[in-house]
Amino acid sequence: MRRPTIADIARAAGVSKGAVSYALNGRPGVSEATRGRILAIAEELGWAPSSAARALSDGRAGAVGLVVARPADVLGIEPFFMRLISGIQSELAGGPTALTFQMAGDLAAETATYRRWAAERRVDGVLLVDLRVRDPRVDLLTGLALPAVVIGGPDGVGALPCVWSDDAAAVREVVHYLVALGHRRLTRVAGPPEFAHTAARSAAFAEVARELGLERAETVHADYSVEDGARVTRRLLAAVPRPTALLYDNDLMAVAGLGVAQEMGVAVPAELSVVGWDDSALCRLVRPALTTVSRDVVRHGAEAARMLLAAVAGGPVPSRRAPAAALRPRGSTGPLERP
Amino acid sequence: MRRPTIADIARAAGVSKGAVSYALNGRPGVSEATRGRILAIAEELGWAPSSAARALSDGRAGAVGLVVARPADVLGIEPFFMRLISGIQSELAGGPTALTFQMAGDLAAETATYRRWAAERRVDGVLLVDLRVRDPRVDLLTGLALPAVVIGGPDGVGALPCVWSDDAAAVREVVHYLVALGHRRLTRVAGPPEFAHTAARSAAFAEVARELGLERAETVHADYSVEDGARVTRRLLAAVPRPTALLYDNDLMAVAGLGVAQEMGVAVPAELSVVGWDDSALCRLVRPALTTVSRDVVRHGAEAARMLLAAVAGGPVPSRRAPAAALRPRGSTGPLERP
DNA sequence: CCGACCGAGTGAACCGGTTCAGTGAGCCGG
DNA sequence: CCGGCTCACTGAACCGGTTCACTCGGTCGG
């Protein structure tokens, strides 16, 4: 019971392979009667095109790739990626394109993966996440002529199209909100400085702090993990005077910070306001619920996938700006009660 | 600047395509001198085999597939899958096999994906997760002759190899531990009853409760999500008399339950003990830290991937039992203080 | 009535590997 | 000195599609 090929269909229909190919792909060259007959036979035989044969023949892999280089324990619990993938899949589902997913230990492993994929023609294009400052991957992919869409930007993406949201505006919104609540000493617990979005947010944070004449507004870095978020928070809350508001770069560290505040007897939000970033389900998992910056990650993913398919098809693809991230206030922020 | 093919190498080396193929694949048929020359030229040209051509020629896709059918919002935050994937990748990394990942909305979409993958020969085998009671996918995959390894079991997997851990033993361990702490009214907040592991755990729970003569030991079902976990917990804690210990089927619902207890003024662990399942990073994210059942999910994934590669290669693959899941006591369980 | 044209369909090449039957040279033993 | 064997390598078929140049028969305009 070999899988049927177009040759089987051709034999059954009494026509040539070429005619079958035309019929199945909806191109001219066969009469409607013949096309119908061929389609019926293909259906009856349960035929589906061999992805390998098609890939070899038309030079297209029928897959796009996503590599994520973050430590496994961060990936496991960081909801961002699964939501992103969910968005990507919603665009790919049903279509002829599959998603090849790879986790890499570090940047070197990630670039090696791109090289291999390009050399093996395993994917038609890739989605680039966690854009870095002067990201070497941008030049690499450009050099490999591998179509790519960057999730992030818009700076430093070179000629690659990107889908980005205005992080700076969101940072400004959060800071204005906290200042309105009476806060004057803010600290940002940011992700690693090498990420482009970290740099963008840090710059915006410094700028708005200057504009508003804040007493203190520093940025410290952590690696997005629960452990590092807790460690940094412990240090920050031990300082005298301590900050009255903490802005985290992801929900995970913010939730860890919430736990540390509780452990150190710092009341949230009476003495300390905490803000996360991403609006994942984690925010509603904890008490008080976490105030956070909300962006539609799923839609981000869908948008990026759509753009990548267009880029693979060869069209010019303009970068797109996603709807701005917005503050979602919950119980973890409030007016300062005991300054 | 076309990518080099073996024909290019053959021309440069002054030999035939066949000789190049033998040389590159380390098979006999070429002298060591010639092999060295061909290898050097291939290296210099930056040659890598076209995955499509190889797939077409040897009938192997060079990829394995994983489909996950859970609601997107559960997937986003449920750490289990990312850890599993991380384990799978650790086995695949560097090798010639890629991972094709798909999220499906429901079981029907999932089976449709298997059919399509099989028809298109897009993957050489698949990993099956979330085994169900009388799982239709087992027969489907067997019928499609698509190699598969089940993560779960060992019951109901038919002829498919599986990697499983002894959930029943873990349930018994947890219940004995809680009883030793003085608990007599336990409730299990389980996953959907259609999952095989849910059924196995429920059966073990009922059995050990009978053996120990517990006052109460019921199982209720939820869908693994934060919301459902919270909803069910609210209902359970409102009952009179309420259970003194809750056993959840994943950490996510357990953490949600912890939040509800706090919201309802039920002290943990003084009045209520809470146990999760999986030992994800979530457990150490909350206060009190969550007692949970720990199993090495990453290793599970690696094991399954290794078995799948063996199955694809055609060898007979015996099912494997992973090290038993073990109780990891933390702050959320303790002796009953105010019964 | 003849040439141009058009639609339907054919046959073969091609994509880039793998594999198999065959070939010629060199070596060995008898 | 010759038959047979091994080794190194060649040429072609093959995997399952797509595509292109070409043929054949019918129709239409002049």
Q: Looking at the structure, do residues A210 and A233 belong to the same domain, yes or no?
A: yes
Give the domain CATH number at A135: 3.40.50.2300
Half-sphere exposure of B49 (CA within 13 A, CB side): 18
Q: Answer yes or no: are the C-beta atoms of B102 and B162 closer than 8 Å.
A: no
Residue B232 located in a structural domain: yes
Instruction: Quote the mean pLDDT of chain B.
Output: 91
Closest Cβ–Cβ partner in A76, A89, A298 for B83: A76
- Mean pLDDT, rounded, for B145-163: 89
Give the domain CATH number at A26: 1.10.260.40
- Mean pLDDT, rounded, for B122-132: 94
Q: Looking at the structure, do residues B288 and B303 belong to the same domain, yes or no?
A: no
Q: Looking at the structure, do residues B155 and B174 belong to the same domain, yes or no?
A: no
- Residue-wise pLDDT for B59-75, tens only, equals 889 999 999 998 777 77
DSSP B324: P
Q: How far apart are CA B18 and CA B24, in angstroms?
A: 10
Q: What Cα–Cα distance (Å) separates residue B97 from each residue in A68, A83, A102, A140?
A: 17, 25, 11, 23
Residue A55 located in a structural domain: no
pLDDT of residue A142: 93
The string over B13-32, giving b where at least 16 C-beta atoms fall within 10 Å of a residue's C-beta and e elsewhere, is bebeeebbbbbbeeeeebee
Task: Give yes or no for a cis peptide into B136 (omega within 30° of 0).
Answer: no
Q: Looking at the structure, do residues B200 and B246 belong to the same domain, yes or no?
A: yes
Closest Cβ–Cβ partner in A50, A56, A226 for B285: A226
Q: How far apart are CA B132 and CA B198, in angstroms?
A: 9
Q: Which helix (H) or strand (E) holds B302?
A: helix B297-313
Residue A94 located in a structural domain: yes
Nearest CA to the C1' of D14 belongs to which residue? B57
CB atoms within 10 A of CB B247: 27
Q: Looking at the structure, do residues A69 and A215 belong to the same domain, yes or no?
A: no
| Domains contained in chain A, number | 3
Q: Looking at the structure, do residues B126 and B35 belong to the same domain, yes or no?
A: no
Residue B212 located in a structural domain: yes
Q: How far apart are CA B166 and CA B105, in angstroms?
A: 29
pLDDT of residue A1: 58
Q: Looking at the structure, do residues B131 and B213 belong to the same domain, yes or no?
A: no
Residue B98 located in a structural domain: yes
Q: Looking at the structure, do residues A188 and A287 belong to the same domain, yes or no?
A: yes
Closest Cβ–Cβ partner in A46, A75, A89 for B102: A89
- Mean pLDDT, rounded, for B178-204: 94
The DSSP code sequence of B83-130 is HHHHHHHHHHTTSS-EEEEEEESSHHHHHHHHHHHHHHT--SEEEE-S
Within 7 Å: CB of B15 and strand C?
Answer: no
Q: Looking at the structure, do residues A211 and A131 belong to the same domain, yes or no?
A: no
Q: How far apart are CA A284 and CA A280, in angstroms?
A: 8
Higher pLDDT pick, B78 / A277: A277
Q: Looking at the structure, do residues A176 and A258 belong to the same domain, yes or no?
A: yes
Our CA-based measurement puts residue A101 at a distance from the nearest CA of chain B, in whole angstroms, of 6
pLDDT of residue A150: 95
Q: Which nucleotides of C are covered by protein (CB under 7 A)?
A: 7-21
pLDDT of residue B106: 87
Report chain B residues whose CB lies below 8 A from the CB of A252: 285
Residue B283 located in a structural domain: yes
Q: How far apart are CA A41 and CA A46, in angstroms?
A: 8
Q: How far apart are CA B141 and CA B152, in angstroms?
A: 16
Within 7 Å: CB of B339 and strand D?
Answer: no
Q: Looking at the structure, do residues B189 and B276 belong to the same domain, yes or no?
A: yes
Digit-by-digit pLDDT tens for chain A (339 residues) are 578 999 899 888 888 888 899 989 888 888 888 888 899 999 999 999 999 999 999 888 999 999 998 877 777 778 888 889 999 998 998 888 999 999 988 899 999 999 999 999 999 999 999 999 999 999 999 999 899 999 987 888 888 999 999 999 999 999 999 999 999 999 999 999 999 999 999 999 999 999 998 888 899 999 998 889 999 999 999 998 999 999 999 999 999 999 999 989 999 899 999 999 999 888 888 889 999 999 888 899 999 999 999 999 888 899 999 888 899 999 999 998 754
Q: How far is the CA of A31 from the C1' of C1 (A)?
A: 30
Give me the residue label for tokens 């839609």.
A299
Within 7 Å: CB of A14 and strand C?
Answer: yes
Q: Which nucleotides of D are covered by protein (CB under 7 A)?
A: 7-21
pLDDT of residue A155: 85
pLDDT of residue A184: 93
Report chain B residues whose CB lies below 8 A from the CB of A274: none
pLDDT of residue B338: 59
Q: How many CB pairs under 8 A join A and B?
A: 150
Mention every residue, 6+ apart, whose C-beta is less than 8 A from residue B228.
B222, B253
Residue A332 located in a structural domain: no
Our CA-based measurement puts residue B119 at a distance from the nearest CA of chain A, in whole angstroms, of 5
Sign, CA dihedral A306-A308-A313-A317, equals: positive
Contacts 24+ apart (CB under 8 A), A205-209: A205/A171, A205/A175, A205/A247, A208/A171, A208/A172, A208/A175, A208/A176, A209/A175
Our CA-based measurement puts residue B90 at a distance from the nearest CA of chain A, in whole angstroms, of 8
Q: Say whether B262 and A287 touch across the interface (CB within 8 A).
A: yes
State the residue range of the domain holding A13.
Answer: 6-48
Nearest CA to the C1' of D11 belongs to which residue? B16
Residue A249 located in a structural domain: yes
Q: Which of B85, B278, B304, B301 is nearest to A75 (CA)?
A: B85
Q: Looking at the structure, do residues B307 and B257 belong to the same domain, yes or no?
A: no
Within 7 Å: CB of A29 and strand C?
Answer: yes
